[in-house]
Every structure is written in C-alpha cells, then in structure tokens.
A and B are shown apart, each in its own frame.
Chain A
Amino acid sequence: MGVTGIYILGTVIPSVIIGLLLAALLNIEWIKGRGLFRTLFYIPVVTSMAAAAVIWGWLYEPNFGLVNYFLSIFGISNIKWLSDPNYALLALIIVGVWKRIGYNMVLFLAGLQTIPKTYYEAAEIDGATPWRKFVNITLPLLSPTTLFVFIMQFIASFRVFVSVSVMTSGGPAKSTQVITYYLYENAFKYLKFGYASAVAVVMFAMMVVFTLIQFRVSKGRVHYQ
C-alpha cells in the first residue's frame, strides 16, 4: 500500500505541474505550429502502455540503455534501474509521468481557452508582469480544471498495472508491489478469488474516500468564475 501511495504522489504532482507549464507555453499566441507541438506532446498518451513499457525496459537496460548512457555523461554510472529495489519504483514513476503529461496538457489548454482575454488586457494596463498575471489571473480561473486533472490523475495512478506487470512484476523485493498488481497476483496466480475481491473492495473504497477528500479540501479554493 505504501508503494501505491508513493507512486501516486510521485506521478500525480509532477505530471500535473509539467502538463500545466506545457499548456501555458503552447497557449502563447505568437508561437507558430502549436497544433503540431500539441500532437507531438500527445503521442505517448495514445500509444499502449505495454509497448511503452517494453521500450522503457530497453532504455533502462543497465549496460547499454540510453538512460544510463546519458547519466554517464554526468558521471553517474551503472544504475540497475529495474533490478535495484531503490530505483525500480522511481523508474516506473518516470514512465508514468512521461505517459500522462500530454493528457494533462490538453485538459489545461482547454481550460486556458475559457479565460477571457479582457482580464489579461486589463492587468496589462495596470502594469502587471507576466508572472503576476499567471499567479493572479490564470491559476485562480484555472482551478476547476486543476481539480479535475488532479482527480483524474489520482485515479489513473491508483490503477497502475501494465507498467508494473511488464517491467518489474512487482519486484525486486516487492519494491513495486502496487495494489492492482497485488490484486492480480492473488486472484490469478494464487487463485485466491475471495481475498482478491476483498482487496478490490478496499481499493475502491479508498478511491472514493480520497476523491471525496479532494473535493472537500478544494472547497473554497476552487473558483468557478
């Protein structure tokens, strides 16, 4: 369970922040080819997690993988990404973030487009800097989108299965034993259907509770214009 918690925190927060930053970048009006960039950022979302996991398995290969090659340029050498219990979960988190940035970006872009331009124009007349505009106009008006993205990502992270199944099978030393994989193993390897169903019920209850908590916490901080 702790593993799932770390995975959720590790993927949701960076993927939301990076997604927001990319959306803000692609929302700048004078940039040409925004549609093309949007498409390029979105490619990991449409490809299958299974294939992505195979590809990342090769990138993470300890001796000849591209990741360790880039790290060796900075003097970091020979991390056994998928077979070292200290790194395996981090490796999966990186893949998870990479896969979801584009999805968040598209939702944020849609949110950004609903903010009336007149607000920015008024702020400019008052002499606001780009940073002030972002913090005082964009972020508050985007808060409904942000809440939605957070909840979607939270649920998606809770459900992580494919990358674990393909890349680590819950190992090494159970360091990537997320709840869905635990559920899968109990049901279909050990054939403990009753126990696995109990795990499923607990998992669902936790998802509902955490989602409700997120709504509660966000109350008063989310501005629906």
Chain B
Amino acid sequence: MRRKPALPIRIIVYLAILFVAIIINLPFFWMLVTSFKTEDAAFSIPPSFLPTIFDLRNFVKAFELIPLARYIWNTLFVALTVTLLQLIFNSLAAYGLARIRFRGANVVFMILIGTLMVPPEVTMVPLYVIVKQFGFIDKYSALIVPFMSSAFGIFLLRQFFMGIPKELEEAAIIDGASRMKIFVRIILPLSKPALYTMALYTFLAHWNEYMWPLIVINDAKKQMIQVGISQFVSGWETQWTLRMAASTTAVIPIIILFFFVQKQFVEGISISGLKE
C-alpha cells in the first residue's frame, strides 16, 4: 500500500485541480450568466459574476430575432436521421466485413480504412460538386445522403463484431438460421454497447457540425443550429446577451446529455482512440 502525502500537499493538489476545472469551464459559466443579464449589466465594469434577471426574456428575444426553434428542429431531424441510417448501414457493412468471406474483402477493408486518413476538408470541394449535380443544394438530403454510412463507424463495429465468439453463430447455423436472422437475433443484441457508442458519436458530430451546412445550405429557414447561432444577422453581432442565450440553447443540452453518457463516451475514446 502506498502512503498518502501530508495533508498540506494534498490540499495544494486538490486546489490545483479545482482551479483548472474552474478555468476550463469559466467560458460556459460566463455564457450562462450573461444570458441572464440585462444589457446594461452585461456591459458594466467591473463585470458582475451574478445574473441580474431571473426569467427567460433574453431567450425569448433570441428566439424571435433568429429562427432558433426552427434551427433546433432542423438539426434534430438531420442528426437523428443520420444516426439511424448509420446504425443500419454501418452494422450491416461491418458484419459483412467481420464474418463473411468474399473475394476482395481485404481490399475493400483497406480502402475503407484509407478513407479515414483523408480529412473532410480535402474532399469538401468534390463532394460539393457531386451534391450539387444531384440537386441537393439547400435540401436536407445534402446533409443526410453523404453521411448515411461512415468508415469510422464501420471500423468500430467490425472490431467489436470480430470479438464475438464464432461458436454462437455456428450453433445457430446448425439450427438452420439464416445469415440475416443470426445478425438480427445474435450479433445486434450482443453489440449494444458498441452500437450505443457509435450512435452517440454520430449524433453529437452532426449536432455540432458547422462547415458542411455552411457550404450547402443557404436558405436561412433550413439552416443548422451551429451555423445559425454563429452567423451575422444585422444588429445581432453586438447583442451579446442574446447571442449568449442562443449559445446556451445550443450547448447546455449537450453538456447535460454528456453528463449522463460520459462513461460510454470517454471509454469509447480510450478504446478506439479515434475522432473527436
């Protein structure tokens, strides 16, 4: 058993950690406080660290000034659709790559892994051209169709499927189960943790996405929330109390969600070590 250091040292270490935790989260605290301040209070020196109004009037104003409710709805729709489609397609592809031997399986897998190394910024222009030729510009399909499946998700699930004992499937094959039945009845139920982690990543990535909607969506009504809260509407730039209210609306649900699922999330990163 290693012994603890003396009390003063322990207190210093605790204070150091607490200090860092406060500094790191100060921007979010400041956002929250500012969204509950009158404009005069927000623009006062020295700044007050406490809210001055105790109702949601900044939020109401922000929702009036920009179509925030619409943005939230759009983003939820796109992010949930993408997540659902990825659950279906990624798991099917991953199962095929993990279990079914076919000619060129390794080549397909290598190509898939290879695409992980190409960042989206590099393929942004050609992808835009393709999407435009499909006539998807200013449509949700531009945000959904290119992301129906992802190499990262397939890779993650394939690795997980490979770890499931083959004996389970062999027993089912002897009982006369079809591939599809094995997949649905055996593989998927056993892979709940991996599917859950992948779904969380996908949803979060698409809720937070900024660059792609900025490029393919011009119609303000169809915009996603991240572009919506950060774009410059006239008279909007300097209204910091309202902008902070809008940011709070976009950020706080994610932080709350994260507190509930942080275990899966952080472990997912430690295991896969991939993607932010």
Complex partner residue of B255 from A46, A98, A107, A161, CB under 8 angstroms: A46
Find chain A residues with CB under 8 A from B124 CB: 183-184, 187, 200
Contact present for A69 and B45 (CB under 8 Å):
yes
Q: Would A58 and B119 be within 8 Å (CB), given that A42-B262, A51-B226 are in contact?
A: no
| Mask of B117-149 contacts with A, CB within 8 angstroms, 1/0 | 111011111101100000000000000000000
0/1 string, A105-128, CB within 8 A of B gives 1 = 011011000000000110010000
The answer to whether A165 and B254 have CB atoms under 8 Å apart is no
Answer whether residue B265 sits at the interface, using C-beta atoms and an 8 A cutoff: yes
Is B77 located at the chain interface by the 8 A CB criterion?
A: no
B50 at the A interface (CB under 8 A): no
Whether B226 and A48, one on each chain, are in contact in the complex, defined by CB atoms closer than 8 angstroms, is yes
Residue B69 lies at the interface, judged by CB distance under 8 Å to chain A: no
Which of B102-110, B157-165, B240-248 faces chain A? B240-248
The number of residue pairs between A and B whose CB atoms lie closer than 8 Å in the complex comes to: 173
Identify the closest chain B residue to A148 (Cβ): B273
Knowing A40-B21, A166-B230 are in contact, say whether A64-B42 is a contact too (CB < 8 A).
yes
Q: A42-B266, A183-B121 are in contact. Are A31 and B210 (CB under 8 A)?
A: no
Using known A-B contacts A28-B13, A107-B269, determine if residue A48 contacts B210 with beta carbons closer than 8 Å. Answer: yes
- The residue on A at minimum CB distance from B34 is A58
The contact string, 1 if C-beta is below 8 Å from chain B, for chain A 56-88, is 101101011010010000000000000000000
Residues from chain B with a CB closer than 8 A to the CB of A66 are 26, 30, 47
Contacts of A64 in B (CB 8 A): 42-45, 47, 240
Q: Is the CB of B27 within 8 A of A54?
A: no
Q: Mark A126-157, 1 if CB is under 8 A from B, else 0.
A: 00000000000000000000001000100110
Which residues A180-204 have CB closer than 8 A to chain B?
A: 180, 183-184, 187-188, 193, 196-197, 200-201, 203-204
Residues of A within 8 A of B122 (CB): 200-201, 203-204
State the main secondary structure of chain A at its contact with B: helix
Number of interface residues of B (CB under 8 A): 64
Smallest Cβ distance from B102 to chain A, in angstroms? 30
**Contacting pair B119 A155 (CB below 8 A):** yes
Residues of A within 8 Å of B13, CB to CB, are 25, 28, 31
| A25, A50, A106, A148 pick with most chain B CB within 10 angstroms | A50
Residue B31 interfacial (CB < 8 Å): yes
List of B residues within 8 angstroms of A107 by Cβ: 269-270, 273
- Which of these, B14, B25, B44, B258, contacts A31 with CB under 8 Å? B14
Q: Which residues of B contact A49 (CB under 8 A)?
A: 208, 210
Q: How far is the CA of A1 from the CA of B182 in the complex (A)?
A: 53
Q: Please, how many angstroms separate the alpha-carbon atoms of A28 and B92 in the complex?
A: 42
Tell me the nearest residue of chain B to A41, going by C-beta. B24
Contact of A58 among B14, B45, B129, B240 (CB under 8 A): B240
Contact B270 A106 (CB under 8 A): yes
> Is residue A44 within 8 Å, beta carbon to beta carbon, of the partner chain?
yes
Task: Give A5 to B276 CA distance when docked, in angstroms.
Answer: 21
- In Å, the complex CA distance between A203 and B125 comes to 13
| B66 beta carbon closer than 8 Å to chain A | no
Report if A101 contacts B (CB, 8 A): yes
Q: A38-B266, A48-B207, A100-B276 given. 9 additional CB < 8 A pairs?
A: A29-B2, A42-B262, A42-B266, A47-B251, A50-B250, A148-B273, A184-B124, A188-B128, A203-B122
20 contacts between A and B (CB under 8 A): A39-B259, A40-B25, A45-B276, A48-B208, A48-B210, A51-B247, A58-B243, A61-B240, A63-B43, A106-B270, A107-B269, A110-B269, A158-B119, A161-B121, A162-B210, A183-B124, A184-B215, A187-B125, A200-B124, A203-B122
A residues with a Cβ closer than 8 A to B are 22, 25-26, 28-31, 37-56, 58-59, 61, 63-64, 66, 69, 98, 100-103, 106-107, 109-110, 120-121, 124, 148, 152, 155-156, 158-159, 161-162, 165-166, 180, 183-184, 187-188, 193, 196-197, 200-201, 203-204, 207-208
